[in-house]
Structure 1
Amino acid sequence: MLRALGAFIVPLIVACAMFMENVDGTVIVTSLPVLARDLGHDPITLKLAVTAYVIGLGVFIPICGWVADRFGSRNVFRTAIGIFMAGSLLCAASTSLDTFVLARFVQGIGGALMVPVGRIIIFRSVPKSEFIRAMNYLTVPALLGPVVGPPLGGFITTYLHWRLIFVINVPIGLFGIWLTNKYIANTREPHPGRLDWLGFVLSASGASLFMLGLSLVGGELVSTRESAGMCVIGMALLLAYVLYARRVALPVLDLRLLRIPSFHASVIGGSLFRIGLGAVPFLLPLALQEGLGMTAFRAGAITCASAFGSIFMKTMASRILERFGFRTVLMVNAACAGLAIAVYGLFFPGTPHWVIWCIVLAGGFFPSLQFTSLNTLAYADIPSSEVGRATSVASVIQQMSLGLGVTISGIVLQISHRLQGHPKIVFSDFWPAFLVVGLFSCLSIPITRRLPRDAGDEIARGSRGRA
């Protein structure tokens, strides 16, 4: 009886923590325009807050497995929830952009440890006979977060106050810590080995400086020379890591795995695709509010339509992959997704809201199919002994590409706004940004085109058999 209860309650605890993180990530983008004005900045500058969170995630994901083995999965998981709560309270109390960006980075650290360690806990706590059902619990936050987050954030921002968005994480987090203490065992590996500290410092500092410098380009916080200098130093550190990782047996991020064609197509081609899609949660709510004059609540109610499209597509993904194959789906679907993003730039004041909602709904189909295909293909040819290291490489590159999407779209929007000479942001400033990030999705096509025509066919047939 207790074993059956554990197989249910442990995945549920992890799923609730993931739900808190997913909702928080989708809530904030709906509130950015109002939040920016309260902090005394233009909404585009608040891309820093989104990027800071992604940097926190990307920097600390590679070491989460080692930390869990060294200090115990329960200790790390509840500490991660506590860090995420602390970051949330700092966000709620922020009175300047600097403190808000720092708070978002703290949240990112908590999120980086919370989700991967949660998966480790499930793997070690749940019997293999219950593993598929346990993993199904983890799909719920990924599906419901984008549905609940935008309208919830819009409602709180429009009718209450944006600071309450972050306060609601506290009771959820405290309850999660209590449940963790009660139901989750403190498992660990007796000899986790030596962590590649030098590799971690080089990759973490390089990625952080490059992403932060790029986010500050064209802004009002630092000069162009300073932001460019941060980018150059960051790129130099990343290059140093690449050279270093070639000579180390077990680097923190093993880039040699990218030599596997299917993994290379999934991670590199998928990252170009994610640059385009990573921009949409930031750019679309901003366009609806600043460009079309909607309230945060109305914008959130429209933005969540893409999540419904995503859920619908997941029911069809296995059949589509079996019928057409990974290579064809990844190429054709990337073009469709890029076109869908570009169409968002055609919205203008007076466009019926139901038309916008339907277009955003359709725009959710293609990313869902692409992500399902990419995430499945990534492990098609990875040996089981290398799955952990492959996951670290894929996760870091994916998170950084999502942050790049936000940064690049913000830079293009700033350039468009200045070239058109409008005193404030208007709807016509947005179409170049949507067009550029849509093109990034299409840039993944030449990479996936190199795949063999039968790449992943065995997986596609297997997924159909389990459907």
Structure 2
Amino acid sequence: MRNPAGMTDNSRLTGLSFGGVYGYGIRRSQSKSNRNPRQRRCARASRRRRQAGRGLDYYAAVIRPSSSSRFRDIFPYSMTPKPAAFPPHRPILIAVIAASAFFMEILDATVIAPAVPQIAESFNTSATAISAGISSYLITVGVFIPASAWMSERFGARAVFAVAIAVFTLASVLCGMSQTLGQFTLARVLQGMGGAMMSPVGRLEVLRRTEKSDLLMAIAYLTWPGLTAFAVGPLLGGFLTTYLSWRWIFYVNVPIGLFGIAMVLTFFERNTGGTHKPFDLRGFLLNGSALGLLILGVETAGHGGRIVLGSIVAAAGLLLGFLALRHGTRHPAPLLSLVPFRMLTFSIGTFSGGGLFRISVGATGFLLPVMFQLAFGLTAFEAGVLVFYFLMGDLAAKAFANTLLRVFGFRPVMVIDGAIVVASGFALILLTPAMPYWLMVAILVASGMVRSIQFSALNSLSFADIPPELMSSASTLGSMLHQINMGFGVTLAALLLNASAGLRAGTGAALTHADFRIALGAMAVLALIATLNYLRLPPDAAADLRGDQ
């Protein structure tokens, strides 16, 4: 049966009702008497299939427009009009869905620190040994971030994002069910794989689906839930650990993850990617192996006292790192392009200056809540409250950090603020259980504020001179280095604590306040070295970001 000439899709119902159906009834009545029983059964089955097809096509066009194309291919002369293509979806809704995943990821990164002593007690090990579970997550995120961009292009953002949330949620359950440190570390590695795919893919989908007029609001919806998790994480972690169990800090991810998966499958566009860009497997393996062996070597030397074995493993990691750098400079399409390092602002912002600063920040975030519990005798919740003040200072400074950079310039602000960061780092050494509570809170808030200004400056400085064609590579490389530096900071903090305790009272000695002071002092020295690197910046560094001509 043909569609009558000149009819639009909207007039098919009329054509079928007065022309097609009438003619079909005449032909059917004329041929019915000539059919044998088998032909009649086939005709009835054919009618049932047509009726079912029309019903399915109506469901697809009216209820599920995004999936109607496959029914139209099977039943081209259906009664329903063709639906519109998948609409450019609500940008705010997409941003909220992505933000729920970011909230879960950032919450997981900040919620664990107050629970470190209790986790160590459950596994019958030291608090410093739990650093392996924290650093392994951060390092895994850094290793898999470059692969996530390729996977999104190859398999589509919808599929990759949904799988990433599912993996992260499953790994959270496994973390909560862990009975040994080895099980916990492996579950954290799996969690890092999911976390690495969530952030870049979700951010890219928001930017791709949002019109420029809605971009500012979409970014706000995308950013603030993550900042909220950043501040709420220590409070929630301390509360759950003190009044329930540390295992619940991972179980809270389950409802958030299930909600995120449902929203992604419902509202994200179906696509299959389809890129033919080859995956740099050799570069991926070299990068991952180098970082893994380096961290394993440091952990082995620090916790077990096996300095020789740890040094050998770390040296093997450095060798593989050299091969990875060599591969990145020679491969025509490397997984990680090193070209952005040619820009001084990017090099200082992510490596020589910003890298050392982030190592210091990562270590401090691990040291403070553990010190408040083991050296000050506070509960996990009380330690979480103090860390909350520290992070609230961080959030408060974001309101005026960019204004300072625009008015005074990047180099002066970074050098002066860096000096204050160093001073606040040494001030943390002065914290004692006998110190007035209000003074302790004031020091923590001030320390958080000056660190926030430094972060804002580094994040903007890193991309000030990056041309548009290198922005994607620079963003991936910067995100990877951020996670790796933060993870290495946790590992270094644990190494310093163990070394201090070992030199003071032998291997396996209990940690004291003096050990934490030594580690915090070393982090202040790292911040000082980072600040000295900022002096290499030209006076007009990142002038374009300030609006200077």
How far apart, in 2, do the equivalents of 1:253 and 1:410 lie?
Answer: 29
Give distance in 1, aligned partners of 2:89 and 2:339.
Answer: 42
Pick from 335, 346, 357: which aligns with 1:252? 335
2:419 and 2:271 map into 1 onto residues whose CA distance is: 45
1:261 aligns with 2:344: yes
Q: 2:527 matched to 1:441?
A: yes
Matched, 1:339 2:386: no
- The answer (yes or no) to whether the contact 2:155–2:273 under 8 Å persists in 1 is no
Shift of 1:5: 6.7
Structure 2 counterpart of 1:108, from 174, 192, 195: 192
- CA–CA distance in structure 2, aligned partners of residues 319 and 85 of structure 1: 39
- Show the counterpart of 1:80: 164
The answer as to whether partners of 2:88 and 2:209 remain within 8 angstroms in 1 is no
For residues 366 and 3 of structure 1, do their structure 2 counterparts lie closer, same or farther at Cα, with a shift above 3 Å needed?
farther
State the distance in 2 between where 1:191 and 1:385 align. 18
CA–CA separation in structure 1 for the residues paired with 2:186 and 2:422:
33
> Which of 516, 524, 529 is the aligned partner of 1:430?
516
**TM superposition shift of 1:420:** 2.7
**Matching residue's letter, 2:287:** S
Give me the whole-angstrom Cα distance separating, in 1, the residues matched to 2:516 and 2:461: 34
The aligned amino acid for 2:125 is H
Cα-to-partner distance string for 1:149-182 (whole Å, 9 max, x where unaligned) = 1011101111111111111111110111001111
Q: Distance in 2 between matches of 1:304 and 1:352?
A: 17
* Match in the other structure for 1:411: 495
Q: Is the 1:68–1:188 Cα contact (8 Å) retained in structure 2?
A: no
Distance 1:248 1:90, change over 3 A: same
d(CA) in 1 for partners of 2:276, 2:219: 25
Q: Report which stretch shifted further, 109-118 or 238-247.
A: 238-247
Residue of structure 2 equivalent to 1:452: 538
Partner of 2:314: 231
8 Å CA contact 2:294–2:314 kept in 1: the answer is yes
Letter in 2 for 1:109: M
Distance of 1:336 and 1:183 partners within structure 2: 46
Cα distance in 2 for residues equivalent to 1:225 and 1:376: 41
Query: 1:11 corresponds to which residue?
Result: 95
CA RMSD, aligned part only? 1.7
Q: Paired residue for 2:406?
A: 322
Alpha-carbon distance, 1:186 to partner: 3.2
Contact 1:19–1:145 under 8 Å retained in 2:
yes
Q: Give the number of aligned pairs.
A: 460
Q: Hey, what's the Cα distance between the residues in 1 that align with 2:354 and 2:271?
A: 34
Point out which structure has higher relative CO (alpha carbons under 8 A, 6+ apart): 1
Task: Please tell me the residue identity of whatever aligns with 1:236.
Answer: L
Which segments of structure 1 move beyond 3 Å, counting only runs of 4 or more?
Answer: 2-5, 186-190
> Following the alignment from structure 1 to structure 2, what is the Cα–Cα distance between the partners of residues 332 and 248?
41
CA deviation vs aligned residue, 1:374-398 (integer Å, no higher than 9, x gap): 1111111111111111111111122
CA contact (8 A) 1:272 1:444 kept: yes
Match of 1:380 in 2: 464
The structure 2 residue matched to 1:292, chosen from 376, 386, 407, is: 376
Aligned partners of 2:394 and 2:436: how far apart in 1?
Answer: 22
* Corresponding residue number in structure 2 for 1:465: none
Which residue does the alignment assign to 1:62?
Answer: 146
CA contact (8 A) 1:210 1:234 kept: yes
Q: 1:187-220 CA distances to partner (integer Å, 9 max, x unpaired)?
A: 4654341111111111111111112221232213
Q: TM-score, normalised by structure 2?
A: 0.81
Q: Which runs of 5+ in 2 are unaligned?
A: 1-85
Show the counterpart of 2:483. Answer: 399
Instruction: Tell me the residue number matched to 1:362.
Output: 446
Q: Residues of 2 paired with 1:352 and 1:419: CA distance? A: 31
Contact 2:346–2:465, Cα closer than 8 Å, also in 1: yes
Structure index of larger Rg: 2
C-alpha displacement at 1:426, in angstroms? 2.0
**1:301 partner amino acid:** V
Aligned AA (2:189): F
Displacement of 1:253 in angstroms is 1.2
Q: Find the counterpart in structure 1 of residue 222 from structure 2.
A: 138
Shift of 1:4: 8.7
Instruction: Provide the rounded CA distance (Å) in 2 between the counterparts of 1:157 and 1:336.
Output: 34
Task: Please say if 1:46 is aligned against 2:155.
Answer: no
Q: 3-state SS of the aligned residue for 1:364?
A: helix
> Residue 217 of structure 1: SS of its match in structure 2?
helix
Aligned to 1:175: 259
Equivalent residue in structure 2 for 1:216, among 294, 300, 303: 300
Secondary structure of 2:90's match? helix
**Letter of the 1:9 counterpart:** L
Q: CA deviation at 1:402?
A: 0.8
Structure 2 CA distance for partners of 1:355 and 1:4, relative to 1, 3 Å:
farther
> What letter matches 1:430 in structure 2?
F
